[in-house]
Amino acid sequence: MPQYAYFQKQFMPLAEANTNIMTNFLHYGTAVFEGIRGNWNEEQNQIYLFRLKEHYERLLNGCKVMKIQIPYSNDDLCKLTVELTARSGLKENVYVRPVAYKSTEAMGVRLHNLESDFFALVIPWGRYLDTDACRVGVSSWRRPGSNCSVPQAKITGQYVNSAFAKTEAHDAGFDEAIVLNESGRVAEGSGENIFLVIDGKLITPSVYENILVGITRATVIELAKNELGIEVIERPVERTELYLAREAFFTGTAAHVSPIAEVDHRLVGDGKVGPITKELQTLYHDVIEGKNPKYMHWCTPVY
């Protein structure tokens, strides 16, 4: 089945959406991106794009930071993404990658005097973390602070830090990394937010700990509070708390709710998926697949 992209203001086969190797963002990471999940509901023969408006609100905020001007409103981007996904005709879980970028074919480190453009592509994509429960290690790489990066924005150039952490973890035999911030407190995974279960409460690093303020993170916080009646505390998290928590899990658009079984060769709880994590996993998947009527306002149908 052909895959499609939206590139240079038109829909086209993905294979034809190519950019010049002089394009500025390829050299300097001068772009912002999002990852958007489309979740297949077999019974309804439908793909639901999850929290589309929230993703594009974050992308447009990132554009402000990066001085990227694109001629699209949030509604425009949502409609464009629905059409792109529908054109692809996929009937499985998909992943949409929109990118706003500095499109001038010119060298030079700067944000000014450069043109901007936007593209998006859609591909089939299954599990991001290919395991039922992750073995993770605390990385030697630190999460950059807001004095040298913009943690709230998904800027392409910043993600080399995540790549360092991810590959270090992989080479050490782990599934994923946990990255500390400049103060030595827990920030997040290489591409996910993190939650711990301590004394029956959900604990997660606060927005002031140099984390990406994740959309899945916000979803899980709301579901935990409103559906499960679990207290959620956003606060600084010390490294040793990773070893003492009863449960732990990652959250992210790509990763969904992914349990953590082990940190630095120490079991989390009994090393199995904990009851709170499992309950949140089930609830979250029902919501994103359009099976929970209460949260259908988060789901945009494609077909």
Dist. CA 238–CA 187, nearest whole Å: 10
Contact 194, 205 (CB under 8 A): yes
The label of the residue with tokens 């629905």 reads 82
- Give me the half-sphere count of Cα atoms (radius 13 Å) on the Cβ side of residue 249: 27
Which residues are paired to 247 by β-bridges? 197
Q: Residues 67, 102, 154, 291: which is the catalytic one?
A: 154
Say whether 154 is catalytic: yes
User: Can you spell out the DSSP letters for 85-142?
Assistant: HHHHT--S-EEEEEEEEE--B---S-STT--EEEEEEEEE---SS-SSSEEEEEEEEE
Contact 49, 37 (CB under 8 A): yes
Dist. CA 237–CA 263, nearest whole Å: 14
Structure tokens at 49: 């794009």
What is the DSSP code (8-state) at residue 16?
Answer: G
Q: What is the largest CA-CA distance in the chain?
A: 56
Residues identified as active-site: 154
